[in-house]
Each structure stands twice: as structure tokens, then as C-alpha cells.
Structure 1
Amino acid sequence: MIDLLKKYKVRIIISVATLVSVVAITITIMTLINNEKTVISPDFAPIEKETYAEVLNDEETSKLEQQEGGGAVSLTYSKEVTVNLNDRTAELLFQNPAKSNQNMVLQIMIKDTVVAQSGLIEPDYGIKKLALLENVDLQKGEYEGNFNVLYYDAKTGEKAIVNTSIPISIVVK
């Protein structure tokens, strides 16, 4: 009788261990399959330049004055963004004029969610279009949002302490 109980205990322990292993493997696989692109604010500038960036050929090429260890930027932008759900792009106007001495990354935010993020936008470059992030699911309508502008030293790539948040209107079509 005691040998029979030991066999059942061993079977129960093996069954529980197997079940725990199957659950752990399932959770790992589901996490890998559903892994959404995480948008972070890196400490150093991304290496990838924005694919939609266009040269401005700004006539004003003299840089803004800056104190040592600081930065100076100039922005040109429109507060209106149109999102096209058919091609999953955002149409906008955002420029980093040549007189700026900081590289930038632009995020389009709705509430606390990043819906689009650029690659590196160097001085004398601008963008008129950004691709929506893969994990973003928007409904048609009008939204209040923000441009979140992240600044990076053009020489070292180090992230600046200060960022800018600009209120914008977003129309999703």
C-alpha cells in the first residue's frame, strides 16, 4: 500500500511539473509572438536616419549660439496631422532648420501612446510623412495629441535632458 502511495505521489509531482513547464513554454511563445515594438526614449540617438526625411536646403546656415554643454534648436511645424488608415501613414509638417545644432526624433502621441516615431532628423532636414507603428490601431475621428520632440547632440549623439511637447490636432481618415 505504501509503495502504491509513493507511485501516486511521484506521478502527481511529475504531472504538476509537466503542467507548469507547458504553461511556462506557452507564455514564452505567446510573449514572443505578440511582442509589440516598444517605443523608448534612448539615451543615445538612433543610428537610423528617418526614411521620409527631405533636405530643406535652408538658406540660413549659420548655427544658433549655444552655451558649452547646451544646445539650441529651431523648429518649423504645423499643429495639424492627418492619419491615413489605408496606407498607415501620418501626413504632417515638421522641420529641423539648418541653424539648429541638435538632431531630433519626433514622436506623434495620442494620450500616452506613441502612434508614430521618426528616425533621426538632422539639421536642415524635414518630414512630411511618417509611418504608423505596427501595433497602433486607430479609429476614424478627431483626436488631440502631441508632438514629442527628443533632442540629441549632433556630435556625440547623447540625449539632451530637455524634450519638447507640442499640442496638435490629429484627424484620422
Structure 2
Amino acid sequence: MQVAFLVAPEGVEQVELTEPWQAVQDAGHEPRLVSTKSGQIQAFNHLDKADTFDVDSAVADARVEDYGGLILPGGVANPDFLRMDAKAVAFVKGFFDAGKPVAAICHAPWTLIEADVVRGRTLTSWPSLQTDIRNAGGVWVDEQVKVCTGGSNTLITSRKPDDLKAFNGALVKEFTAQDHQS
């Protein structure tokens, strides 16, 4: 199963990209890097530039039906940029419309808020997003990982890089179950 990782050209928190990527690969799935522009993306370690990564597909050319699930890594700038890109927001919403699992960590729920998919859902995030989530109709909880199955799909969220082990375990479990249903 192919799993889309949607990121902006700059600003993704590297560890929130690379650790879930490795977990998806180790589980036998195929991670694919989708961005708003082709070429390469620039990852960050907090505010410092880190590595660059090759983009597999521009979001304008990506099709939800080609993927079994979606992962939204965090970083402050990454989701802020994505939520301003109509094609990226539509791509995210497409996974919810198709009933496919979505995982988001740290600040990534900003993109979910823009896609109007948190209403009636329970999720976690970096603590500064809790008011945004509540204002968008979601229920915010302070938990290491939250798996919400209420709605059209499964939504997996975590707060921060320290939660990556739990986040990766939950998303691999869900994506593997989804793959077996296909």
C-alpha cells in the first residue's frame, strides 16, 4: 500500500517525517513524498535547516485513490504553508471523503482545521492548537496518541516528537488493517 506524506517545500520537522516514514517502510508499505512543488523539500530540526528530500509527486498531480492513507508531519511552518494551498487542503479533505486513514502530529492539525474535517472528532496536537481545534468543532485532549474512529475514517494524532513511538505504532496498526481490508 502506498502512503502519502504531505509536506510543504520548507518547514517540516525532519524527525516527524523520517521516523513515521521508516515505520511505514518497515511495515511493508510504500511511503511517497507529496508536496506543493516538485523537486526537493527542506526539512528542519526545530528552527535549523536539516536535510533535503526528493519529492515523489506534486500535490496538483497526486490522486487520493492512489494511496491507502495519509500522514501529515508537523513543524510550525509546514502546516501553516499547507493550509494556504487550496490543492493541498483539497487533497487532505479527499482522504476523509474517501474514508481513508489520516495521521497528523504536532502542528499538522492546522491543515485538518483548514480542510474542515475536525468537527465532531477528538484529537490531540501541540498544545497551542487546542483553541483552534475547539473553535473548529473538535474536542482536544492532552494524550500521547489519540485514535479517533468516529467519523468517515480513522484519525490518528499525537502532540510532539516525544510521542513518535506511540504515533508510529498506532498509524502502522491502522494502515496495516486498512491494507488487509482492501
Give the structure-1-normalised TM-score.
0.22
Give the structure-2-normalised TM-score.
0.21
Larger radius of gyration between Structure 1 and Structure 2: 1
Q: Which has the higher contact order (CA 8 A, sep 6+)?
A: 1
Determine which structure has the larger helix proportion and give its number.
2
